[in-house]
Amino acid sequence: MKKKIGITFIILSFVLWILIPVIPFLSFSAGVKTAIVSGLFIGGEVFFWLGALLAGKDIVKNFIQKYWRRGKKDDNPS
C-alpha cells in the first residue's frame, strides 16, 4: 500500500510541475501568479520526495535508471 501511495505522489509531483507553465496565461494579478507558481514548485518537490520515501529505494532506483540515466554513448569507436 505504501508503494502505491508513493508512486501516486511521484506522479502527482510531475502533474504539478506540468501546471507551472500554464499559470502565466491565467487572469490573476502578478502577486497571485507568483504565489501559485511558488506553491506548485514547492508542492511538486514535497510530493516527489515523500513519494520517493514511501515507494522505497528499489522503485526509485529503477525509475532513475530507466528514465534519467541513458546509456553511455561511445564517441571514440577505437
In the numeric block, the cell 515507494 is attached to 55
The arithmetic mean of pLDDT across residues 2-15, rounded, is 90
pLDDT-based confidence at 59, cuts 50/70/90?
A: confident
Q: Is the model more confident about 68 or about 65?
A: 65
Please check the confidence at residue 71 and state whether its pLDDT lies above 60. Answer: no
Question: What does the pLDDT read at residue 61?
Answer: 80
- Whether the Cβ atoms of residue 16 and residue 44 lie closer than 8 Å to each other: yes
pLDDT-based confidence at 21, cuts 50/70/90?
A: very high
